[in-house]
């Protein structure tokens, strides 16, 4: 085991032993495998992104996923080949190596957006795809463009499991209707990369939609198995502010008095853009699960209460190692109103990403305009703070205290006292979120009608902020 990995594993040895108890129960007569040769999730859950790469990489199907989507070892099947360890992006994220693997050079770009060749803003021309999308339906549009022109045989995407509608799963969409099933963001854990087990056995080529951590695992797997690149020529990345623990869905339903057994479908962003969390009941009734929309009345609260441990220490918010990354378009006008409803922003990073984007425009699948040189479209100020300052400060603090955190090959940023205090406050809230007696009543209140004045107050403050900054800009230009 290298020193860095040992550092991240040691403080959690006791937790490994607890996990190992259950492992040994399943394999009391089985061999014991050293955790140092395995992917991190099997010894330290706090460092596991639940990306599923270890499951997808294992040549002997020796890893399965438990109910919370963490990997579990079947020791008798393990040949101790270490592949799951080498391809795991949980304990260590080496930006230089990922840069080399993705872009073929050594120039790590530490900005929030990372390497970008071209930036576009746009939407899908097919109204069903556009209206069903989280933003402008661009991810699904790019997949559909490749599929309908025979450039790929299928797309690796995510959906909510039709039988267990509060659980996300990966699948291969091979038609327009199947792509529609995958639309919209599932703000929950989906170990997408486990599907590589299946993809490896299938003929054909596939597009792959991935969150940043999933793309990290994929790049590491490609380094071990270059033939996979032939099968998966396109990585369409998503921006990511954090997934949410799977228990959010069941607790939200409970808070609204809905029996999970009565739910046919769960939507994270149902209805009109930007959408809201909704449950479709077995009798077809659609129930809104919170007031206001997902952006102003839910996601920002939930990320404070239900964000998984590993997401709290994740610093890639823009899918830096995809061929093209897609984000929401949250640009606002002077009144704080969204300028680009049902639009997405596209950051083409590699020649493959640029080609994919240009072809979809030429073929009329998407409408998009080039904003590469317009700084107004760098709009992720909150995420830049969360992932560019808060998360690295948290990582540095956890490591100093001898607690587990992923190791990055980037130094923590210089921070003011205010930024340090902000990180402490956010971390305290996240820590409290692990206790149901704290998070459940708070979530129930924040998503109820009672919280509407609070939401209105926040929106009023936002509006004031935008008006002030417009005034400042105007006086500067005079």
Q: Which helix (H) or strand (E) covers residue 295, if one does?
A: none
Single residue of 41, 133, 154, 388 touching ligand FAD by CB under 6 A = 133
> What's the closest the beta carbon of residue 151 comes to ligand SF4, in angstroms?
27
> What's the closest the beta carbon of residue 179 comes to ligand SF4, in angstroms?
22
Single residue of 344, 350, 389, 447 touching ligand FAD by CB under 6 A = 344
Report how far apart, in Å, the C-alpha atoms of 83 and of each of 58, 71, 229, 443 are.
Answer: 7, 14, 17, 40
Q: Which residues are bridge partners to 341 per DSSP? A: none
> Is 326 a binder of ligand FAD (CB under 6 A)?
yes
Partner touching 182 among ligand FAD, ligand SF4, none, CB below 5 to 8 Å by kind: ligand FAD
> What's the closest the beta carbon of residue 14 comes to ligand SF4, in angstroms?
18
Beta strands in 105-205 (DSSP E): 118-124, 154-160, 168-173
> Is 408 a binder of ligand FAD (CB under 6 A)?
no
- Residue 477 neighbours by CB distance under 10 Å: 6
Q: Which residues are bridge partners to 133 per DSSP? A: none
Select 50 or 219, whichever has its Cβ closest to ligand SF4. 50
Single residue of 78, 116, 121, 138 touching ligand FAD by CB under 6 A = 138
Residues that bind ligand SF4 (CB under 6 A): 37-41, 48-54, 57-58, 60, 62-63, 71, 73, 78-84, 88-90, 191, 211-213, 217, 240, 242-243, 310-311, 314, 316
> What's the closest the beta carbon of residue 433 comes to ligand SF4, in angstroms?
15
Rounded to the nearest angstrom, the gap between the alpha carbon of residue 241 and the centroid of all alpha carbons in its chain is: 7
Select 108 or 291, whichever has its Cβ closest to ligand SF4. 108
Q: Are strands 154-160 and 206-210 parallel, antiparallel or unpaired?
A: parallel
Partner touching 138 among ligand FAD, ligand SF4, none, CB below 5 to 8 Å by kind: ligand FAD
> What's the closest the beta carbon of residue 17 comes to ligand FAD, in angstroms?
31
- Residue 314 neighbours by CB distance under 10 Å: 26
Partner touching 83 among ligand SF4, ligand FAD, none, CB below 5 to 8 Å by kind: ligand SF4
> Is 183 a binder of ligand FAD (CB under 6 A)?
yes
- Convert 98-129 to b/e letters by CB count within 10 Å (16 or more is b): bbbbbbeeeebeeebbbbbebbbbbbbebeeb
Closest CA to 366 of 357, 375, 374, 376: 357
Partner touching 293 among ligand SF4, ligand FAD, none, CB below 5 to 8 Å by kind: none
Helix boundaries (H) for 256-406: 294, 300-305, 309-312, 351-362, 381-385, 391-400
Give the integer Cα–Cα distance in Å for 285 and 283: 6
């Amino acid at each position: 085991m290298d020193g860095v990995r040992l550092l991240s594993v040691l403080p959690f040895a006791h937790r490994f032993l607890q996990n190992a108890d259950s492992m040994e129960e399943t394999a009391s007569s089985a061999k014991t495998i050293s955790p140092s040769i395995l992917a991190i999730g099997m010894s330290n859950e706090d460092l596991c992104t639940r990306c599923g790469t270890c499951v997808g990489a294992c040549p002997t199907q020796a890893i399965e996923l438990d109910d919370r989507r963490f990997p579990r070892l079947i020791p008798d099947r393990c040949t101790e080949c270490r592949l799951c360890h080498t391809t795991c992006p949980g304990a260590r994220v080496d930006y230089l190596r990922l840069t080399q693997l993705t872009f073929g050079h050594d120039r790590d770009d530490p900005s929030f957006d990372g390497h970008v060749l071209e930036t576009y803003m746009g939407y899908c021309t097919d109204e069903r795809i556009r209206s069903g999308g989280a933003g402008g339906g661009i991810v699904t549009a790019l997949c559909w463009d490749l599929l309908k022109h025979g450039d790929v045989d299928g797309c690796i995407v995510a959906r909510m499991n039709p039988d267990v509608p509060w659980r996300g799963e990966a699948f291969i969409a091979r038609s327009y209707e199947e792509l529609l099933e995958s639309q919209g963001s599932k703000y929950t854990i989906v170990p997408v990369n486990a599907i590589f087990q299946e993809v490896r056995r299938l003929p054909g080529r596939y597009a792959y939609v991935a969150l940043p951590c999933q793309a990290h695992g994929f790049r590491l797997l490609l380094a071990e198995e270059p033939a996979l690149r032939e099968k998966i020529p396109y990585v369409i990345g998503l921006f990511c502010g954090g997934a949410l623990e799977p228990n959010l869905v069941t607790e939200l339903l409970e808070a609204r008095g809905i029996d999970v057994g009565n739910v046919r479908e769960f939507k994270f962003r149902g209805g009109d853009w930007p959408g809201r969390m909704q449950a479709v009941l077995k009798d077809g009734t659609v129930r809104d699960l919170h007031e206001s929309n997902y952006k102003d009345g839910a996601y920002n609260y939930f990320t404070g209460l239900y964000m998984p441990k590993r997401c709290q220490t994740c610093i890639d918010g823009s899918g830096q190692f995809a061929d093209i990354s897609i984000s929401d378009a949250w640009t606002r006008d002077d009144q704080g109103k969204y300028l680009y409803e049902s639009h997405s922003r596209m950051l083409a990073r590699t020649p493959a990403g640029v080609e994919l984007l240009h072809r979809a425009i030429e073929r009329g699948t998407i409408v998009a305009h080039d904003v590469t040189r317009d700084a107004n479209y760098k709009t992720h100020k909150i995420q830049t703070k969360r992932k560019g300052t808060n998360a690295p400060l948290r990582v540095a603090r956890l490591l100093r205290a001898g607690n587990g955190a992923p190791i990055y090959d980037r130094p923590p940023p210089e921070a003011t006292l205010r930024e340090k205090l902000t990180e402490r406050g956010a971390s305290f809230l996240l820590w409290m979120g692990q206790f149901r007696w704290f998070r459940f009543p708070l979530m129930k209140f924040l998503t109820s009608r009672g919280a509407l004045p609070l939401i209105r107050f926040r929106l009023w403050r936002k509006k004031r902020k935008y008006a002030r900054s417009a005034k400042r800009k105007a006086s500067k230009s005079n």
